[in-house]
Chains A and B, each alone.
Chain A
Amino acid sequence: MSPEAADAVRVDRYRRRMTVTQIVGAAIIVALAFAPYVFEPAVTSSWIKLFYLITLATVWNLLAGYAGMVSVGQQAYIGLGAYGIFVFNDLGLDPYSSALVASVAIGIIAFALSFVAFRLRGGYFAIGTWVIAEAVRQIVVRFDSLGAGRGRSISDYTSDPVMRNLFTYWLALGILAATLIATLFLLRSRMGIALQSIRDNEVAARALGIHVARTKRIVFVIAGIGAGLAGSVICLQAIGVQSPSQIFSVSYSAFMVFMVLIGGIGTIEGPIIGAVIYYVMDLYFSQMGLWYLVVLGALAIAVTLFFPRGIWGALSARYNLAVFPIGHRVVAVAPGAGVRGERRMAMAAGTGK
């Protein structure tokens, strides 16, 4: 490109596509919000699980796919979210407000824990988060008021099951919508670019003046809050916690890893697809018992090794798709360069990423 043409280009953030995404996304969320008036309560309440699975997958992807932090300890926040309902419910709040108040508390806890977890890097970070999750569980079961090792149920709850399901549905939907919107805007922001550069090369990112630790910490806290809210929903739907070892189970991390890997790590769309796949698999195969987990583990390994981009990663690379536009492209605005400018001239920022 000649020098005089250099100022005849502009960086496009896919504004038009973003507008479409926002309108369609808002329409889908509104439609889902009205779904309980159309469908049977049994149908919509079965979607609650899908909503919290997508939430879990999205925040885990934010951690691992964008900030490069593989955590196998997110169950700490899921459990805290569930137990937070008991704590604030006992203090007199209704269960739904309890979930929201608990998420704030979990954000603070995640912030504090990040100072411990960030002492470790890479693989040792992963195993360190696992230890933290174990320690959190062991502390929670020390409280007799929280049912100690036995689990407990929510004491002050709406007795009408229809209303209960309805409100839990809306809460789960609201959390999902908030998570997706926050993720989209986060990744489109300056920090999103910082995150992706950290994931790709942390040393180089630091050299470019990015506050690596601060950026990672923000993501760590967001991921903790997201997992905590999902845990609250799990607790609300089951009207309590059956056993602490279940809600603090490392299996939740396995599910998150599976969903994100299958769908496509490092994309916003991937975890949604992965969560839907997991949800459908769970409907049909969960009666297989533990072999089901074995299959999930084996599939996760196979995808990591032979299909590392996942379903959405492969599709978007091939067809140049992006439902959630977070990339950049350089578009020529000068006449003459227009033909070339129509195509993407700078693929550096990518479209799917």
Chain B
Amino acid sequence: MVVVNALVQGILLGGLFAMAALGLSIAFGVLRVVNLAHGEIMTVGAYIAAIGLSWAGLNVWVSMLIVVPVLGFVGYWVQRLLLQRALRISELAPLLVTFGIAIIIPNVLIELFTTNKQQIATGGLAVRSIQVVEGVSIGVLPLITMIVAVALIAATQLFLARTRTGRYMRAAADDSETLRLMGVDHRRLYALAMALAFGIAAFAGIFLGMRQGGVTPFDGHLAVLFAFEAVIIGGLGSLWGTLAGGIVLGVAQTLAGVVSPELPLLVGNLVFLAVLMFRPAGIVRSKVVV
């Protein structure tokens, strides 16, 4: 029963990883930029929510309405002012810029808020659970996270398939040169994609913070690695594959946690490396290219 329970928790944890990975996938898919600061954007989102809660007593769900547009706005201008320039310089430049951001953010957060955990209270939601059978219970928050993750992926798919901007983004992923020839302002399009990526990252960051009951400056480093692992395990270019990848990673971690509390991260990383070695295209065959 312990194993079954761990399996269920792992699947639900996968929802969080998939949510975290979504922004990374969008940025890479549309712009071919791997955002090494992705995890830090998640952390910043969680910090704003935590501060909103402690200073203004803002409910976490309400603060999402502020955090997501704010980080989306930041993402838009980071793209326009920094990354757009970097893209013109070389292939490596955007990577180095995002790495610079990834170094700056946690250190600023430590200097401003110390290394202490900033609480994100959810009014008991994080500990509430539904007992399915004896020994297996489903946490309410992980369940909500999973549902939101699925909805978010579906919405992103719809956005990319049905809206004009979404179609342009897919076109940019395939052939941005030609798109430019068609008269589409690729800079604005790229910035919108980055805004979307940052917004979703911040959103996922708040969910991560709620799960952990708070956020520390060090969470970003871990989060970006989890997100990346979910993307690679699932297979590049498939959003539903990323969900599958997140679930594999989540299950690997929770099952390892049954054996020893020190093992989850190591086993998660080893599973990732094994997939990379033996199934480099990921566990899901990709059909939709994002």
Contacts and interface: CB of A to CB of B under 8 A. Distances in A.
Contact of A296 (B34, B103, B272): B103
A290 B111 contact: yes
Given A293-B107, A294-B108, A300-B100, A305 B95 contact: no
Contacts of B266: 135, 138-139, 142
B51 interface: no
A317 to B, nearest CB: 15
Contact of B269 (A138, A254, A297, A304): A138
A291 B99 contact: no
A131 B103 contact: no
A124 B34 contact: yes
Contact of B99 (A128, A132, A257): A257
Given A72-B36, A138-B265, A290-B107, A131 B225 contact: yes
B229 interface: yes
B104 A294 contact: yes
A300 B96 CA distance: 8
A64 B99 CA distance: 14
Interface residues of A, number: 41
A120 to B, nearest CB: 7
Contacts, number: 123
A296 B36 CA distance: 16
Given A68-B92, A308-B89, A119 B277 contact: yes
A289 B110 CA distance: 10
Contacts of A298: 100, 104
Q: Which of under 10, 10 to 19, 20 to 34, or 35 or more describes the interface residues of B?
A: 35 or more
Contacts of B85: 305
Given A127-B36, A290-B111, A134 B265 contact: yes
B28 interface: yes
B273 A70 contact: no
Contacts of B90: 308
A305 B28 CA distance: 20
Contacts of A142: 262, 266
19 contacts: A116-B276, A119-B280, A123-B34, A123-B36, A126-B34, A127-B34, A127-B225, A128-B228, A131-B228, A131-B269, A142-B266, A251-B103, A293-B104, A294-B107, A294-B108, A297-B103, A304-B100, A305-B97, A308-B89
